[in-house]
Chains A and B, each alone.
Chain A
Amino acid sequence: MSGLAWGAFYGLAAGLVIAVAALIGVWGERKVSARIQMRIGPQELGPFGLLQTLADTVKLVLKEDITPRAADVRIFRIAPLIVFAPIAMSLAVIPYAAGFAPLDTSVGVLFFMAVPAISVIGVLLAGWASRNTYATIGGLRAAAQMISYELPRTLSVLPFVLLAGSMRPLDIMDEWRWWWIPLTLIAFVVYFISSVAEVNRGPFDLPEAESELVAGYFADYSGIRWAIFMMAEYGGLVAASLFGAAFFFGGYLGLPGALGVIVLIAKATLIATAMMWVKWTYPRMRPDQLMGTAWKVLTPMALVQLVIVGAVIPWL
């Protein structure tokens, strides 16, 4: 019973963290895109327009939650949660501070890679349940894309498992040395690109391509359910940034307590900004380019990285 209460409490906390992260993330995205387009961006509400997203949230919550008549109502309603929940869960295994991860498990790395993959099912369900051709195509595209990029993404974090000899994130943090950064540079590039693809962001936003598919798998969603999809996207962005900051850049760097958390968040912010930068720089890819990149570029690169790390290990 206490386990269930703990789970509920944790779920609430993760939801809150993601909500705040999404608030700041959307604001950041609008600022970054504006600066890249030589605009100023939100500036009227609050300092630097910081409250703009909050106002948008109020608007979203107050909007009517429309369910299409032809939709498969139950699946349609539950799909956003199926997308959101695994991503919230993945935040649990990230080592936030020295000796602290909300879910300290010996298969943390595997957990982080495997659990968010469940959200693919939610995306597929959303696309299917909408009874809308655009949404269905978007869902199918998303499934193909997210499953394809699972492989290079998982391969890209394997070097750390090899180097630390453990899949427990806190162990890896303890073992972390600064020269892992140059050693795993290729892995970071692969991780970065496949993470962008995992969260369906540009230039890998084929599942939600506005100009081709209206909005893809969430074309028929509105109000709070649409907001949940968006929060899942930003949650995925936050999770990928935090995980990348922890593994590839040493996370809290052995600093104690809150200081370590701040360092981790700062690094994650940089990675998230870079992801936005990439999104607002490149045009959307074609499906064949998308698949070609995953199988013919990123996977071989990740394997090359594995070979390099494997060759180094006997010398340690």
Chain B
Amino acid sequence: MAVNSHNNTDTRNHEIGAPAQAPHVVPVTVNVTDDFPGGVAGFFARWQSLLTGLGITGRKALGPATTLRYPHEKVALSPRWRGALRLRGILGLDDIPIIEDTPPEYNALIDGLYRADRLPPCVGNCPANVDARGQGYYLGEGKPAEAYELVRDRNILPGVLGRICHHPCETACRRNYYDEPIAIRPLHRHAYEEYVKVASERLEPLERTRNRRIAIIGSGPSGLAAAYDLMKLGYSVSVYEKEKKPGGALYSGVPSYRLPREVLHDEIDNLVTLGMEFKLGVEVGKDVPIDYLLGEYDAVLIAVGLQESRIIPVPGHTAEGVTGALPFLRDANWKGDPGVQGKRVLVIGGGNVAVDVARCALRTGATEVRLACLEGEEEMPCHPWEIEEALDEGVIAMCSLGPEEVLVDDEGKVRGMRMRECISVFDASGRFAPQFGDEYTEVAVDMVVFSVGQGPVLADVVAGSDLTLTERGLLPVDGTLFTTAQEGVFASGEVVTGPGSAIASIATGHEAATSIHRYLEGLDLAEGRVARPVPVYDKYQVAHIDGVEANRRRVTMPMAKPEERATDFRHIELGITHLEALNEAMRCLRCQSEVCVGCTFCARTCPDYAIEVERVDDPGERRVTHYELDLSKCCFCGLCAPQCPTNALTHTGQYELSFFHRDLTIFDRHEMLRDGAGTRATGRDGVHEAVREVPR
């Protein structure tokens, strides 16, 4: 199995660094004579094919010629010549498209943009398709409140997600290719911070236009997203939450050094202002049976998330001092004391929750925090920046170790942990199948926290309804329509997807809301419904940023000092300033918008220095002031157009006319915008001056 491990390493390196392999080439051999049947049929088929060929050339011969009639058309045409390059739009003259639609139609909009190659990678890679490009545009125009509201349409808690999101958008950001990705997540946070100042003016209760009521069980991100979508459609929505405060896992699980509770509660308060009704402290299944909800409401959405930490049943797992991640985090968040003062803590698991647990343990007074996981250092399932920050704060990571036995002392308390060397975690086909070696490690600890996964607790919730759970306690749910076995009951969030990110939960909330809307409207749930496209984006190699100008670099989020922040629950990301946010928003290239933003990458690519671009970056006044293509330098190599991140610069394909009039060797930005209509290679209508005035 050592070989296996080696293989794993290779695959990983390939995925991270190496460029995509050359596409598989299928050799095509055409043998004309084999295309015909044999015998008499073949005889006639051959003749028919010959006559077809004559027909094609005959028709071509009778059609209009595509070349010019000299010298007459040459003179009439040259001032109208369009050239091989043109711009589809220019910032300042054309608007950036904003991706906006009502919740049920949003998927179709995204799908259409994707098919038309007009979907920005950040939007495509986001599970909820948040329009990060539109956010950047509004922020750059000095309209943070509009940016916030645009983001809120698809990402119900921008201020919260702006602090905790794992930002797949930034991974896909095309700016990775040029220098560094846009700081989309900090911009969410900035938009929220600006929005807070004007929230009271902009918040108005949503109008209730439909006489239907919907109950949502669970006030986590998924439930809130579904509730908001349904409110926008005019339904009245009640959200049931068993805790005293709403927020679900955001409230009970996410440590407050990453997410200050004021932000969470403020954003949820805004939702209340919009008309969302919360029933706090009501536990469905105990205080209220689900039957009651089914009778009282027209539809019910189960979005309760995962409440139970899994604990690996190794010998000694029942000893005092062994606990799961969720109770630990709850204690740390609510009581501020999970009982680790002065203790040595070992966290089992390598995911994001495990890192949260380890960092909370540090903050609540543990003397030594270790984190043990099966995976090697490079394969840890948590996000690299999470473990990096944890290591900075003093967490000790112990990789490639599998739990073997909890060592218990005479009083039944934990005294240590015995772990076995793990050689490989996944088998050749990528399934979880750990292989262990013969080396054992023992560490002396006082507390062991298992953070190896979570499961739902649904038995109470579904009691009394027609819903049944599987043997493992899971609720069978349709993965695309989010329906359950009982009509009118839907489910979304981590109940359906398993442990995942907040933004992925929000995405399922939107889908579930669409299903509920269709159900209440009496429409077929699946018919004509567009599934969210799942684009595949290139993995970027780290760009070389030596020599890149400072104003082109990504803003750096100021962080609290590791040695200080590890002592209490202070916020560790300190936030960016207004000016930094403006600059960051302007770094956004507005990918696929087909509007030139003056990024200058075409000019930087041009080997002949034929392109000059200048722009003004004042907020609200952003525009490209100068775009010039000098045809006396241009060699028509075409390198510039594929470089354009917005697809604004395009080849016209009119190379036949690639010579020009004496007085028109430099194309300015207006000339670059002129479309090719009427200047097809024939140039026929160029002879008639009345057709179109040439902008000069």
Say whether A280 contacts B57, CB under 8 Å: yes
Nearest A residue to B50 via CB reads: A282
The chain A residue sitting closest to B58, CB to CB, is A277
Return chain A residues, CB-CB under 8 Å to B57: 36, 277, 280-281
- Interface centre among B62, B65, B69, by most A CB within 10 Å? B65
Contacts of B50 in A (CB 8 A): 282
Q: Which of A33-90 contact B (CB under 8 A)?
A: 34-40, 43-44
Contacts of A120 in B (CB 8 A): none
Please give, as numbers and ranges, the residues of chain B lying within 8 Å of A34 by CB-CB distance.
Answer: 65
Complex: A27 Cα to B58 Cα, angstroms: 18
The answer on a CB contact under 8 Å between A35 and B61 is yes
What are the residues of chain A within 8 A of B53 when measuring CB–CB?
281-282
- Whether a CB of chain A sits under 8 angstroms from the CB of B29 is no
Contact yes or no, A37 B69, CB < 8 A: no
Given known A35-B61, A37-B60, A38-B60, contact A277–B67 (CB-CB < 8 A):
no
A106 at interface, CB cutoff 8 A: no
- Interface presence of A278 (CB below 8 A): yes
Q: How far is the CA of A34 from the CA of B69 in the complex (A)?
A: 13
Complex Cα–Cα for A206 and B70 (A): 35
Q: Kindly list chain B residues whose C-beta atoms are within 8 Å of the C-beta of A277.
A: 54, 57-58, 61
Chain A residues positioned under 8 Å from B54 (CB to CB): 277-278, 281
Summed over the interface, the residue pairs from A and B with CB atoms below 8 Å come to a total of: 41
Whether B33 sits at the interface, judged by CB under 8 Å, is yes
| Inter-subunit contact B61/A43 (CB<8 Å) | no
Give the chain A neighbours of B67 by CB distance below 8 A: 38-40
Question: Knowing A35-B65, A289-B33 touch, does A43 contact B60 (C-beta < 8 A)?
Answer: no
A141 to B63, alpha carbons, bound, how many Å? 37
Instruction: Say whether, besides A278-B54, A289-B33, A36 and B69 are in contact (CB < 8 Å).
Output: no
Tell me whether B652 is interfacial, beta carbon within 8 Å.
no
Contacts A280-B57, A281-B53, A282-B50 hold; do A38 and B33 have CB atoms under 8 A apart? no
Q: Is A271 an interface residue (CB 8 A)?
A: no
Let me know if A32 is at the binding interface, CB within 8 A: yes
Q: Give the docked Cα–Cα distance between A297 and B44 (Å).
A: 12
The docked-state distance in angstroms from the alpha carbon of A37 to that of B65 is 8
Contact B33 A32 (CB under 8 A): no
CB of B70 within 8 A of CB of A39, answer: no
Contacts of B65 in A (CB 8 A): 34-35, 38-40
Contact A44 B60 (CB under 8 A): no
**B66 beta carbon closer than 8 Å to chain A:** yes
Q: How far is the CA of A9 from the CA of B33 in the complex (A)?
A: 50
Cα of A14 to Cα of B199 in the assembled complex, Å: 100
Residues B70 and A43 in contact, CB atoms below 8 Å apart: yes
CA distance A297 to B43 in the complex (A): 9
**Residue of B at shortest CB range from A193?**
B50
Rounded to whole angstroms, the CA-CA distance of A280 and B60 in the bound complex is: 12
B391 shortest CB reach to chain A, Å = 67
A48 CB → nearest B CB, Å: 11
Q: Check A36 against B70 for contact (C-beta < 8 Å).
A: no
Tell me whether A36 and B66 are in contact (CB under 8 A). no
Using a Cβ–Cβ cut-off of 8 Å, how many residues does chain B contribute to the interface with A? 19
Do residues A36 and B61 form an inter-chain contact, with CB atoms below 8 A?
Answer: yes
Cβ-defined partner of A38 (8 Å) among B43, B58, B63, B68: B63
A44, A277, A281: residue with the most chain B Cβ atoms closer than 10 Å: A281
Per-position contact with A for B53-82: 1 when CB-CB < 8 Å, else 0?
110111011111111111000000000000
A137 CB to nearest B CB, Å: 23
In the complex formed, the residue of B with least CB distance to A292 is B33
CB distance from A207 to the nearest CB of B (A): 21
**Chain B contacts for A35, CB-based, 8 A:** 60-62, 65
Q: Which residues of B contact A280 (CB under 8 A)?
A: 57
- Complex CA distance for A44 and B66, rounded to whole angstroms: 17
> 8 Å CB contacts to A: which residues of B370-418?
none
Cβ distance B582 to chain A, nearest Cβ, rounded Å: 54
Residues of chain B lying within 8 A (CB to CB) of residue A281: 53-54, 56-57
Q: How far is the CB of A264 from chain B (nearest CB, A)?
A: 24
Which residues of chain A are near B60, meaning CB under 8 Å? 35-38
Query: Is there an interface contact between B70 and A32, defined as CB atoms closer than 8 Å?
Result: no
Which residues on B sit within 8 Å (CB–CB) of A278?
Answer: 54
Q: How far is the CB of B256 from chain A (nearest CB, A)?
A: 73
Separation of A44 and B70 alpha carbons in the complex (Å): 7
Report B71 CB to chain A, min CB distance, Å: 8
Residue of B nearest to A189 (CB): B47
B30 to chain A, nearest CB (A): 12
CB distance from A252 to the nearest CB of B (A): 28
Which B residues between 129 and 163 are near A, CB-CB below 8 angstroms?
none
Chain A residues lying within 8 Å of B56, measured Cβ to Cβ, are: 281
Q: How far is the CB of A192 from chain B (nearest CB, A)?
A: 12
Within 8 A of B (CB), among A238-265: none
Tell whether, in the assembled complex, residue B61 and residue A32 are in contact, meaning their CB atoms are under 8 Å apart: yes
Chain A: which residue is nearest B68 at the CB level?
A: A40
A104 to chain B, nearest CB (A): 37
Q: Which residue of B lies closest to A293 (CB)?
A: B46
Q: Which of A145-163 contact B (CB under 8 A)?
A: none
CB contacts (< 8 Å) of B43 on chain A: these are: 297
Interface string of A271-304 (1 = CB under 8 A from B): 0000001101110000001000000010000000
Minimum CB–CB distance for A50 against chain B, Å = 16
Taking the closest CB of chain B, its distance from the CB of A254, in whole angstroms, is 31
Shortest beta-carbon distance from B50 to chain A in Å:
7
CB–CB B61/A39 < 8 A:
no
Q: Which of B215-244 contact A (CB under 8 A)?
A: none
Q: Give A40 to B70 CA distance when docked, in angstroms.
A: 10
CB-nearest residue of chain A to B681: A38
B69 — which chain A residues lie within 8 A by C-beta?
Answer: 40, 43
A38: chain B residues at CB < 8 Å are 60, 63-67
Please report the C-alpha to C-alpha distance between residue A57 and residue B70 in the assembled complex, in whole angstroms: 23
B25-62 interface with A by 8 A CB criterion: 33, 43, 50, 53-54, 56-58, 60-62
Q: Mark B595-607, 1 if CB is under 8 A from A, else 0.
A: 0000000000000
Cα–Cα, bound, A312→B658 (Å): 64
Q: How far is the CA of A289 from the CA of B69 in the complex (A)?
A: 40
The smallest C-beta distance from B52 to any residue of chain A, in angstroms, reads: 10
Report B-chain residues with C-beta under 8 Å of the C-beta of A37.
60
Which residues of the other chain, B, contact A43 by a CB distance below 8 angstroms? 69-70
B residues at A contact (CB < 8 Å): 33, 43, 50, 53-54, 56-58, 60-70
Cβ contacts A to B, 24 pairs, < 8 Å: A32-B61, A34-B65, A35-B61, A35-B65, A36-B58, A36-B61, A37-B60, A38-B60, A38-B64, A38-B65, A38-B66, A38-B67, A40-B67, A43-B69, A43-B70, A44-B70, A277-B54, A277-B58, A280-B57, A281-B54, A281-B56, A281-B57, A282-B53, A289-B33
Point out residues on A near B: beta carbons under 8 Å.
32, 34-40, 43-44, 277-278, 280-282, 289, 297
Going nearest first, the 6 A-B pairs with the smallest beta carbon separation are A35-B61, A281-B57, A36-B57, A40-B65, A36-B61, A39-B67
Given pairs A277-B54, A281-B56, A297-B43, 14 additional interface contacts (CB within 8 A): A32-B61, A34-B65, A35-B62, A35-B65, A36-B60, A36-B61, A38-B60, A38-B65, A39-B65, A277-B61, A280-B57, A281-B53, A281-B54, A282-B53
